[in-house]
């Protein structure tokens, strides 16, 4: 009998999106008989501990990035390159020790550039092969993407969570002439959720996410405007490590965190989502088929690109956080067609089977 492979999955801890999209990846490896463990930090690690309490977890240091309340996210990242490089070096040392002490055969890194070992197979999951930069910093784009390509080339394989042909949820973000990729299809924690009749549903669900201080600024605006509209809504605060739930305010209920099953039990086809436009959120919306209002994190070029991309295709309504007006947005969202994609995970399962058998 062939021995089971030991697989370590390590999502980046910038927000919760990298962790949520790793849920179907973890499930795919488990279903094909692998021994899976998880490495991470912060809220994303807490989220996966709630989803997979039976698995073993390791702490892997984050990059400790500071986020400004305004300005370009790309420019902020460039200013912190020394800190990021130091974080990658620390991450690599920690990963090397985890691999050696636990006989890891395969590492799957979701955007953690230092999560690889030269002694085993290494997979890098990303949708950002063509990193976007603000208009005024276009001259930096070749340098940014060359650096991105350099780090990704350290891995044996690059897996892109999108389709190979046809309409791409990631648009231009996953285009690259310099990196050979395996398309594994869109990833969503809702892909395997069983659809059942709901007892009570919310007409509006706001999912708050992203780095501080923008997370709290976004949350404050949404609470204030929904309260003034006197409408029933649920706000999922993106704080899985906080055990203290907020009390209901008017017709607004709060949850610090909700699993895919919980969220699905509280929506119907008419439920409108209010959320950031991160790629993991886009994949979740595609799996659910609901209409949505996208509010990108200010200065985060990836989210601004995706919000514009889906707005121009009349799929999701888009507003900036600065100009957020939910009264207008909720009425306008109904004129957009939304998106529903069947996420069968066939490409993912194919890649998992191949890597486990080579």
Assigned token pair, 123: 């997979």
| For range 73-78, the mean pLDDT | 66
Is a pLDDT exceeding 60 seen at residue 1?
no
Domain map (residue ranges) of the chain? 6-187+343-356, 204-333
Using DSSP, state whether 220 is helix, strand or coil.
helix
Query: What pLDDT sits at residue 197?
Result: 52
Query: What pLDDT sits at residue 138?
Result: 85
Out of 33-42, 195-204, 259-268, give the one with best mean pLDDT: 33-42
Percent of the chain whose predicted confidence (pLDDT) is above 90 = 71
Using DSSP, state whether 165 is helix, strand or coil.
coil
For domain 6-187+343-356, the CATH class is alpha beta
Query: What pLDDT sits at residue 80?
Result: 72
Is a pLDDT exceeding 90 seen at residue 139?
no
Is a pLDDT exceeding 70 seen at residue 72?
no
Query: What pLDDT sits at residue 77?
Result: 67
| For range 4-33, the mean pLDDT | 94
For domain 204-333, the CATH class is alpha beta
Per mean pLDDT, which range of 34-38, 76-80, 153-157 is the poorest? 76-80
DSSP for 282-336, written as a single string = HHHHHHH--EEEE-PPTT-HHHHHHHHHHHHTTSSEE--STT--HHHHHHHHTTS
Percent of the chain whose predicted confidence (pLDDT) is above 70 = 93
Is a pLDDT exceeding 80 seen at residue 271?
yes
Among candidate residues 286, 141, 125, 295, the one with its CA nearest the CA of residue 206: 295
Query: What pLDDT sits at residue 93?
Result: 95
| For range 97-116, the mean pLDDT | 96
Tens digits of residue pLDDT in 214-254? 999 999 999 999 999 999 999 999 998 888 999 999 999 99
Helix, strand, coil in percent for the chain, rounding step 5:
40, 15, 45
β-bridge mates for residue 38, sequence order: 9, 57
Is a pLDDT exceeding 90 seen at residue 64?
no
Q: Matching CATH topology for 6-187+343-356 and 204-333? A: yes
């Amino acid at each position: 009998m062939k021995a089971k492979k030991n697989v370590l999955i390590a999502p980046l801890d910038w927000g919760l999106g990298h962790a949520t999209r790793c849920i179907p990846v973890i499930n795919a490896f488990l279903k094909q008989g692998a021994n899976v463990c998880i490495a991470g930090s912060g809220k994303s690690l807490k989220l996966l501990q709630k989803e997979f309490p039976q698995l073993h977890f390791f702490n892997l240091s984050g990059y400790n990035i500071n986020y400004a309340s305004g300005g370009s996210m790309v420019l902020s990242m460039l200013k912190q390159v020394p800190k990021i490089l130091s974080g990658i070096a620390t991450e690599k040392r920690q990963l090397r020790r985890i691999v050696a002490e636990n006989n890891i055969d395969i590492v799957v890194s979701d955007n953690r550039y230092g999560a690889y070992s030269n002694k085993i197979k290494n997979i890098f999951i990303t949708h950002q092969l063509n990193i976007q930069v603000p208009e005024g910093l276009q001259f930096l784009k070749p340098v940014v993407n060359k650096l991105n390509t350099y780090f990704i080339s350290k891995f044996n394989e690059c897996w892109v969570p999108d389709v190979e042909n046809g309409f791409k949820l990631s648009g231009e973000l996953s285009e690259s002439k310099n990196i050979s990729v395996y398309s594994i299809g869109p990833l969503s924690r809702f892909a395997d959720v069983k659809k059942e009749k709901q007892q009570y549903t919310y007409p509006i669900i706001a999912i708050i996410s992203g780095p501080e201080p923008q997370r709290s600024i976004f949350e404050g605006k949404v609470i204030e405007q929904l309260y003034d509209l006197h409408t029933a809504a649920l706000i999922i605060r993106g704080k899985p490590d906080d055990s203290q739930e907020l009390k209901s305010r008017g017709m607004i209920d709060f949850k610090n965190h909700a699993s895919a099953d919980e969220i699905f039990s509280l929506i119907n086809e008419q439920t409108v989502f209010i959320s950031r436009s991160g790629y993991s959120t886009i994949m979740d919306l595609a799996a659910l088929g609901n209409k949505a209002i996208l509010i990108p994190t200010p200065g985060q070029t990836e989210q601004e690109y995706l919000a514009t991309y889906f707005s121009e295709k009349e799929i999701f309504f888009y507003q900036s956080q600065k100009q957020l007006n939910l009264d207008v947005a909720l009425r306008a969202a109904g004129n957009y067609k939304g998106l529903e994609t069947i996420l069968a995970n066939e490409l993912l399962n194919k890649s998992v089977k191949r890597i486990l058998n080579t």
